[in-house]
Amino acid sequence: MTRTHRLFQLMQLMRRLPAPVTASTLVDETGVSLRTIYRDIDALRGLGAVIDGEAGFGYTLIEDAALPPLAFSDDELEALVLGLREVTVIGDPALAEAAQTALSKLKARLPARQTHRLQHAVLDARRFVRPPQPSIDVKALRAATWDEATVFFGYEDGKGDITERNVDPLSIVFMQNAHMLLAWCHLRGDFRAFRLDRMRDLTLTGDNFRPRRVPMLRDFVAMMRAEAEEMAKDRPRSG
């Protein structure tokens, strides 16, 4: 880990962890020595970060002078908080952690009044039954989707039957209480949605389908919308 990366990590830890953050806690989080933590705190102060506290008492990040305050309306702030809190609840582990980090960054750059509003937002997202956890590396799947790289995995359907799939990943969505991969399935020759908790042993095939992801995804979403509208028409009306 470079010193620049370590200093950035220290800032993030002091934003995220309950204040005051003790030096021993920072040692546990970063894996460096106590002396290095003290030196890094001094370095951050020299760069303009306002950090209250001292050795033996813990540290509190008051403000980051290098970052200007952000301007959001109250409704925009509520929307951001709700969205990020929803990600912490339904996101895969990497995304949930990223949402927590994003909230801490947001808090560090807001004016004082809105910092209080962020901490005590009226809107919240709670799920008392969490969605099933993905059984693959979702971060790797997101990267493959961005890179428009074909992936291979084993898939267990609702009956317990397992098939092997080569697919072109288009998007990862949360719907019907589960994380789903929207993809073009080479085996079926059609669009398919796969639950991430039923996927196994994700690997890259070395093939890519660039630059067709965006138009393919547009077609898939249009198809799902048409099917949903047709189902809505067939539902009996109440009243």
Residue 107 sits in the same domain as residue 86: yes
In degrees and rounded to multiples of 5, residue 147 shows phi and psi of -80, -5
Domain end marker among 64, 92, 108: 64
Identify the pLDDT of residue 202. 97
Residue 55 sits in the same domain as residue 84: no
Residue 148 sits in the same domain as residue 217: yes
89 in a structural domain: yes
Identify the pLDDT of residue 6. 83
Domain range for 182 is 138-234
Identify the pLDDT of residue 201. 95
Identify the pLDDT of residue 188. 94
Residue 158 sits in the same domain as residue 207: yes
Residue 82 sits in the same domain as residue 57: no
Q: Are strands 149-156 and 58-64 parallel, antiparallel or unpaired?
A: unpaired
Residue 103 sits in the same domain as residue 147: no
Residue 148 sits in the same domain as residue 183: yes
- Residue 55 CB partners (closer than 8 Å, separation 6+): 23, 38
Residue 44 sits in the same domain as residue 80: no
Identify the pLDDT of residue 71. 63
167 in a structural domain: yes
114 in a structural domain: yes
- Please list the residues that pair with 185 across neighbouring strands: 167, 190
Identify the pLDDT of residue 129. 74
Q: 111-140, pLDDT tens digit by residue?
A: 777 777 777 777 777 777 777 888 899 989
Identify the pLDDT of residue 175. 82
Identify the pLDDT of residue 236. 66
Q: 218-227, pLDDT tens digit by residue?
A: 999 999 999 8
If we measure between CA atoms, which residue out of 155, 58, 140, 60 comes closest to residue 93?
Answer: 140
197 in a structural domain: yes
For the chain, the domain total comes to 3
Question: For each successive 10 residues of the chain (239 residues), what is the average pLDDT?
Answer: 80 83 90 90 85 83 59 79 84 84 79 75 73 88 95 93 96 86 96 95 96 94 90 68
Report the alpha-carbon distance of residue 212 to residue 214 in Å, rounded. Answer: 6
Residue 150 sits in the same domain as residue 217: yes
145 in a structural domain: yes
128 in a structural domain: no
112 in a structural domain: yes
Residue 52 sits in the same domain as residue 82: no
Residue 178 sits in the same domain as residue 142: yes
Q: What is the CATH number of the domain that holds 15?
A: 1.10.10.10
Identify the pLDDT of residue 212. 93
- Determine the distance from the C-alpha atom of residue 53 to the mean position of all C-alpha atoms in its chain, rounded to a whole number: 32
CA torsion, ordered 207, 212, 214, 218, to nearest 10 deg: -120
Domain end marker among 88, 119, 150: 119
131 in a structural domain: no
Q: 67-88, pLDDT tens digit by residue?
A: 555 567 778 888 888 888 888 8
Instruction: Find out whether 77 and 117 touch, Cβ atoms under 8 Å.
Output: yes
pTM, to two decimals: 0.60
Residue 143 sits in the same domain as residue 212: yes
